[in-house]
Amino acid sequence: MMRPNVVVLIAAALAPPAHGIRIVQSNDDGWAELYVRTLNSALRAAGHAVVLAAPAEDMSATGSRDEPPAPRAGPCEYASCPPRAGPVGSNATRPDLTWVNSFPATSIRYGIDSVGPRLWRGAAPELAVTGPNVGTNLWLSVLISGTVGAACFAAHDAGIPAIAFSGASAQRAAWDVSPVPNRSIVYAQLATALTNKIVASGKPYLPEDVFLNVNFPKVEGACTNATDFKWILSRINPGTFSRPDVEWCDSTRLPTELSVAGRDGCYISVSIGDASDKTTVNDGRQKVVLDKLRDMLVCLP
């Protein structure tokens, strides 16, 4: 469980959402990874009802694989569940924290179909949030990312708007590490801020079959507080031969997320992805998302 002082620190840095909603959460690094747990605490502190359904162990680079959970032989990652614990299990005191012995897409499916409705009296999730991934998911790596795969399952297969978060500070840590590293707190603050922005924009939170692919730079140097970071609207793939993007920053071609990640500065790339094929949405849905996020976005210098 997150230490109370950390929860207060996270909550104090966040603008409250217009109202709390039901969120299903997953990742591909495992249910006991620190980043996903810190974000879980931040979302709950911001007033949202959140269920976490994530792999029992690290399932990075498994894309959209989806197979029935199998019984475990050994313990979950970081010894977070005992050996021979079955195919699915939950925290003993927090039934909203669930591990699934399968892939990220399978895990979020379980959260959508089982964990959420069980705890929400039959109600479905209103938004899916995955990550923050330990490490970035940019361009070609988007195709194999389990964190992205889970978000795309939610948006494409389950019809739930989804956001996939990833962070360039790639040090792994267990859910109960103390003190909580600043990188985990900052990523949770930023992810919650964008989530709250999408929620405050009203339903539908995102257009049909759309997910947001969000990549945070490293938390270091001049980028150590949530207020240091700036949000950049971007695209996943270069799009050299695709039709023009939405007009923004005096251009009809959005910068690629790779180019944003390569800039000096505290720039966060926010790409509008097509959940059916994990490429850039290149139609009127870009404008819908731009209008939702317009007042928090800046242009690259």
Q: What is the pLDDT of residue 18?
A: 52
Specify the pLDDT at position 240.
86
Crossing angle of helices 34-45/4-12, nearest 10°? 60
User: Cα separation of 38 and 30, whole Å?
Assistant: 13
pLDDT category of residue 17 using cuts at 50, 70 and 90: low
Q: For the segment 221-244, what is each residue's pLDDT rounded down to a tens digit?
A: 999 999 999 999 999 999 888 999
Alpha carbon distance 93, 137 (integer Å): 33
Any idea what the CATH number is for the domain that residue 26 is in?
3.40.1210.10
Q: Is residue 301 part of a domain?
A: no
Residue 213 has pLDDT above 50, yes or no: yes
pLDDT, tens digit, 9 for 90 and up, residues 279-299: 999 999 999 999 999 999 999
Any domain includes 151: yes
pTM exceeds cut of 0.85:
yes
Cis check for the bond before 83: say yes or no (omega within 30 of 0).
Answer: no
Angle CA 196–202–203, to nearest 5: 120
Domain of 197? Answer: 4-293
Q: State how far the alpha carbon of 192 is from the alpha carbons of 62, 188, 230, in Å.
A: 25, 6, 15
Neighbours of 116 (CB within 10 A): 26
Quote the distance between the C-alpha of residue 272 and its chain's center: 14
What the block records as the tokens of 245 is 């993007």
Whether residue 129 is predicted with pLDDT greater than 60 in this model: the reply is yes
Q: What is the DSSP letter of 163?
A: E
Burial pattern 177-204, b for ≥16 Cβ within 10 A else e, equals eeebbebbbbbbbbbbbbbbbbbebeee
Tens digits of residue pLDDT in 170-199: 999 999 999 999 999 999 999 999 999 999
Whether 254 is in a domain gets the answer yes
Domain count, the chain: 1
What's the confidence (pLDDT) of residue 8?
43
Instruction: Specify if 298 maps to a domain.
Output: no
56 within a domain of the structure (yes/no): yes
Tokens 């499916």 sit on residue = 109
Give the pair of three-digit tokens for residue 45.
Answer: 């502190």
In a domain, 220, yes or no: yes
- pLDDT tens by residue, 137-149: 999 999 999 999 9
pLDDT at 241: 87
- Say if residues 216 and 229 touch (Cβ distance below 8 Å): yes
Answer yes or no: are the C-beta atoms of 31 and 76 closer than 8 Å: yes
